[in-house]
Amino acid sequence: GAQALAEIKAAVHAKHDAKGTVTTDADIQEVLPAIAIELKGIWALQSRKDPQVDPYRDVLISLFRRQDHITKSEVTQEFQTLMNRKFELADFTFRSLLREFAENDRGIWKFKGSIKKAQAAGKGISAMSPILRLKDSP
């Protein structure tokens, strides 16, 4: 699923340090934009490489760029408007896509980046700010 840059760095460093290879933060920041997109401080793969699912995922990303909370009906309406076709993704697959970027709170899907910022603010920790900014993905 989508992760903050600090989480990605920690995972890469842990794996590479165990193998005795050195990976710097600069290495990660250089490679990451080639394979991932940044969305409000959270990084996710650019695509699932699934032509049946990626259009729905792109709509989710588009919505989360504009707002921190969404509902299934908002996604359905946005998809039908942007893609000019009926929303036909299986509910299980749709929830899987949503969980990549958000957590469910009584039918409202809250963007993970906004939850982490709120948690960090509540603990007196400054929220993660993205180091790299990418252009909006298609």
Return averaged pLDDT per consecutive 10 residues of the chain, 138 residues in all.
80 77 81 88 88 96 94 96 96 94 92 66 38 32
Residue ranges making up the domain that contains 96: 48-126
Is there a single domain that holds both residue 68 and residue 120? yes
**What is the rounded CA–CA span in Å between residue 91 and residue 101?**
16
Domains of the chain: total: 2
29 in a domain, yes or no?
yes
Query: For residue 39, what are its two tokens?
Result: 């969305």
**What is the rounded CA–CA span in Å between residue 137 and residue 128?**
21
Ramachandran assignment for 126, one of left (phi > 0), alpha (psi -120 to 50 degrees), beta (any other): beta
- Whether this prediction's pTM lies above 0.75 is answered by no
Is there a single domain that holds both residue 27 and residue 95? no
Is there a single domain that holds both residue 30 and residue 70? no
Query: For residue 20, what are its two tokens?
Result: 């005795």
Burial label for 95, CB within 10 Å (0-12, 13-18, 19+), is: middle
**What is the rounded CA–CA span in Å between residue 59 and residue 121?**
29
List alpha helices for 1-138, DSSP H.
5-19, 25-35, 54-66, 72-83, 91-101, 112-122
**What is the rounded CA–CA span in Å between residue 111 and residue 99?**
9
Specify the amino acid at residue 14: A
List all residues 6 or more positions away from 104 whose beta carbon is below 8 Å from its beta carbon.
Answer: 98, 110
Question: Tokens 């165990």 appear where?
Answer: 18
Is there a single domain that holds both residue 96 and residue 114? yes
Is there a single domain that holds both residue 112 and residue 67? yes
Is there a single domain that holds both residue 22 and residue 39? yes
